[in-house]
Structure 1
Amino acid sequence: MKLRELRIEKGITHKQLSDDIGVPVRTISRWEKGESDMLLKNAIKLAEYFEVTLDEFINF
């Protein structure tokens, strides 16, 4: 999963993504750096947000 690449591709800041999906900015940063694992519900929410399938999001 390349959350950072999807976020940058869409021109979205950490803060904007944080506000849009309801998770702290620090959490997004940790996900992008691989410092924290993501719950399935958040992966689903992000896949929907970026308009990709869950499979595409996980294997991006």
Structure 2
Amino acid sequence: MYKRIRDLREDRDLTQKAIARALNCSQQVYSNYELGLRDIPTDILIKLSGFYGVSVDYILGISDDPTIKK
């Protein structure tokens, strides 16, 4: 999961600071999410899913299909 959120960010050429701003958290907190030093709360997972337009299952590594199922 942690590598996935880093890959999603890097694929879009975004900084940790930019993502942290979108999530309303500090860059350090977001960095800790990417490094696996801090668990990602459910509300943040949902925000990341919406921000990147991918499913929560994709972020969690449950699925390799990023498509959001409706």
TM over 0.5: yes
By relative contact order (CA 8 Å, sep 6+), the higher-ranking structure is 1
Distance in 2 separating the partners of 1:19 and 1:42: 12
Aligned position for 1:25: 27
Partner letter of residue 34 of structure 1?
Answer: G
Aligned position for 1:55: 57
TM-score (norm. length: structure 2) = 0.79
- Relative to its length, the structure with more helix (as a share) is 1
Displacement, 1:21? 1.6
TM-score (norm. length: structure 1) = 0.91
Partner letter of residue 34 of structure 2?
Answer: E
- Alpha carbon RMSD of aligned pairs, Å? 1.1
User: What is the percentage of aligned positions where both structures have the same residue?
Assistant: 25
Gaps of 5+ in 2: 65-70
Which runs of 4 or more aligned residues in structure 1 lie more than 4 Å from their structure 2 counterparts after TM superposition?
Answer: none
Distance in 2 separating the partners of 1:25 and 1:10: 17
Displacement, 1:24? 0.8
Q: C-alpha offsets along residues 17-40 of structure 1, whole Å, 9 cap, x if unaligned? A: 111121110011001111000110
Gaps of 5+ in 1: none
Among 42, 45, 48, the alignment partner of 1:43 is 45
